[in-house]
Structure 1
Amino acid sequence: MFPVILARARMPVIVIGLLLAVGEFVHRLEWLSVAGIVLFLAGFASTFLPTGAVRRRPIPVASPVRGRWLAVNSPADKVPSHGVHAYGQTYAVDLVHWPDENTEWKPVVSRPLMSRPETFPGFGSPVHAPAAGTVVRARDFWRDHLSRNSWPALVYVVIEGFVRELTGPSGVLGNHVILDLGDGVYAAFAHLRRGSVQVRKGERVEAGRLIGQCGNSGNSSEPHLHFQLMDNPHPSIAAGLPFTFEETLPGGTTHHRVPSKDEPLLSPSR
């Protein structure tokens, strides 16, 4: 039980740990500093702890994007899909728009060092509500930064990611929208383009409604959509929930699945 509580309260634990760690300098209390360091390290380690058992079948939702998208990090390939359970990411998927089937997408390039987000095919692509729901959070002020998908830039993004962790979920997710889909299910859309969010807190949206555009805000190496379902509207204490996307095949047949690295997500253009 304690690991679950620790994992769900990781950011408060980290912040409190940092504050206590300076106790030796402020209050001359060495034991307080030691306690702070222990809390900080425990909070950081909790990133890799599961935030509770999820005992439910995958939840079917429509695809939030249209066209051909690659699943860079997907629960179809591994769980947790991003290597951590923090922020309800256990079953999260990263979708990169890559319409050219004849050109290979590369996660890391040799050059250029960094590129403007407008040079990527996914930047500005519409993101739709996968089901009807109510907006519980909408953030739209983070800038779309340059890409971090070269080898030198990846070193920078690791350092940048740690700094963003200190700002809490918003700094990691960037511009994002969280929808309450009902029955204790919440959908999160992260790294949206600044100025593109079309919904506001408290607004009721129908399935298929445009909620924003794919961007490169927050802890992102290149423009993509980070999508996940979770059991709480607050990512800092949420557990991830499994899901499947409804997909329409060329012959008109529909089925549900989670895209993998080897099988892109193919959604109708309208």
Structure 2
Amino acid sequence: MKPLVILFLLLFIHPVIGQEEEPRYSAVAVEFMTAFNNEDYQAVFDRYDQVMRESLPLEQTRAVLGQQIRGTMGDILTMEFYRRQGPAHVYKTTFASGVLDILISLDGTDRINGLYFTPHQERQEQAAQVLERNTTPMRLPFDGEWFVFWGGETEARNYHMANKNQQYAYDLIKVANGASHTGDPLKNESYFAFGEPILAPCDATVVLAIDGVPDNVPGETNPIHLTGNTLVLETPSGEYILMAHLQEGSLKVGKGARVSRGEVLARCGNSGNSTEPHLHLQLQNTRDFHKATGARLYFHRLLANGEPRESYLPVKEDFIEHIE
């Protein structure tokens, strides 16, 4: 990997005053990620304060962000608040080709007066728990009847089984008359699942929320942003539920929100590595999809092919529906 130019124009240092992310920093981080991935370096430059603009003119900003950072690392997949350094915020930033810490400092008018790129240094954390299945009672994360396109414990029924971090995952769609859509197959709105409400399967806390990834044209994929618009929930038992490929702009909750069983969280979409609107749903033993080990996700009570079932693990070609 080529060495990275480090930008550090932070003009002041104060003691750490807590480790919660400030909303204004969250908004600027989303703006930065969007502009970076769109190669809109003018938008980044426009967010600078006057000192930053003089110290890092537009052409130099293009060279550093475009040629050196993006040319080496690729698109940003996620930016997760990691810690504070003084008033500045450090984001663990996952790129297509690696992970960096990006420090952002803002002045009193939310202008960037400091940027700092370094290789990510993981803090020592407890090893992720071994998780075989959920102990938390779960409901299906939707109402109405859905179809299990992939699901089960064998590769024949569930191609996710080939990947440890996705094993036992589900791909779920809606069908009518044997098809998942009607009308123009190149429009997301033609698919029965698109825009359907996605619900919290249990009481939980949102530990990751990604929005702003465009929905694909059906048949195309976005392998850079694998999970697309995503929510990860942590149960009180320390189990993690990932819901991926959500509709752009549909997330109703953010990181840190406490959600209740059955609460509408987002809508089904077609973002990320997805060829048509569907919900990718999985249970995992840690928040980070890339480091996770998948586990069996059983549902407390549902209809499967018209029959009431309890503590049930759906499999490929099941028609499933929530019941109380």
TM-score (norm 1): 0.65
Q: Give the match's secondary structure for 1:82.
A: helix
Change (3 A) 1:177 1:205: same
Residues 1:84 and 2:162 are matched in the alignment = yes
Per the alignment, residue 190 of structure 2 pairs with 119
CA RMSD of superposed structures (Å)? 3.3
For the 8 Å contact 1:75–1:81, the answer to whether it is kept is no
Q: Name the one with the larger strand percent.
A: 2
Which aligned pairs between 1:33-112 and structure 2 lie closer than 5 A?
54=130, 56-59=132-135, 60-78=137-155, 81-85=159-163, 88-98=165-175, 100=176, 103-105=177-179
- Residue identity in the other structure for 1:116: K
Per the alignment, residue 244 of structure 1 pairs with 298
Per the alignment, residue 143 of structure 1 pairs with 214
Residues 1:266 and 2:321 are matched in the alignment = yes
Change (3 A) 1:204 1:115: same
Instruction: Return the alpha-carbon distance in structure 2 between the equivalents of residues 95 and 242 of structure 1.
Output: 15
Residues 1:15 and 2:92 are matched in the alignment = no
Q: Name the one with the larger helix percent.
A: 1
Q: Name the larger-Rg structure.
A: 2
Deviation of 1:105 after TM superposition, in Å, equals 3.2
Instruction: Determine which structure has greater relative contact order: mean sequence separation of CA pairs < 8 Å that are 6+ residues apart, divided by chain length.
Output: 1
Instruction: Return the alpha-carbon distance in structure 2 between the equivalents of residues 84 and 182 of structure 1.
Output: 29
Instruction: Return the alpha-carbon distance in structure 2 between the equivalents of residues 72 and 224 of structure 1.
Output: 9
- Residue identity in the other structure for 1:257: Y
Change (3 A) 1:75 1:252: closer
Q: Give the match's secondary structure for 1:143.
A: coil
- Residue identity in the other structure for 1:145: N
For the 8 Å contact 1:76–1:259, the answer to whether it is kept is no
Q: Give the match's secondary structure for 1:184.
A: coil
Identity %: 31
Tell me, which stretches of 5 or more residues in structure 2 are unaligned? 1-93, 99-127
Per the alignment, residue 182 of structure 1 pairs with 236
Q: Give the match's secondary structure for 2:213.
A: coil
Deviation of 1:137 after TM superposition, in Å, equals 0.9
Residues 1:173 and 2:227 are matched in the alignment = yes
For the 8 Å contact 1:80–1:89, the answer to whether it is kept is no
- Residue identity in the other structure for 2:201: P
Instruction: Return the alpha-carbon distance in structure 1 between the equivalents of residues 161 and 241 of structure 2.
Output: 20
Change (3 A) 1:141 1:256: same
Deviation of 1:263 after TM superposition, in Å, equals 1.9
**Number of residue pairs matched by the alignment:** 200
Tell me, which stretches of 5 or more residues in structure 1 are unaligned? 1-11, 17-51, 165-170
- Residue identity in the other structure for 2:147: L
Change (3 A) 1:55 1:224: closer
For the 8 Å contact 2:148–2:171, the answer to whether it is kept is yes
Instruction: Return the alpha-carbon distance in structure 2 between the equivalents of residues 263 and 174 of structure 1.
Output: 25
For the 8 Å contact 1:142–1:175, the answer to whether it is kept is yes
Deviation of 1:233 after TM superposition, in Å, equals 0.5
TM-score (norm 2): 0.54
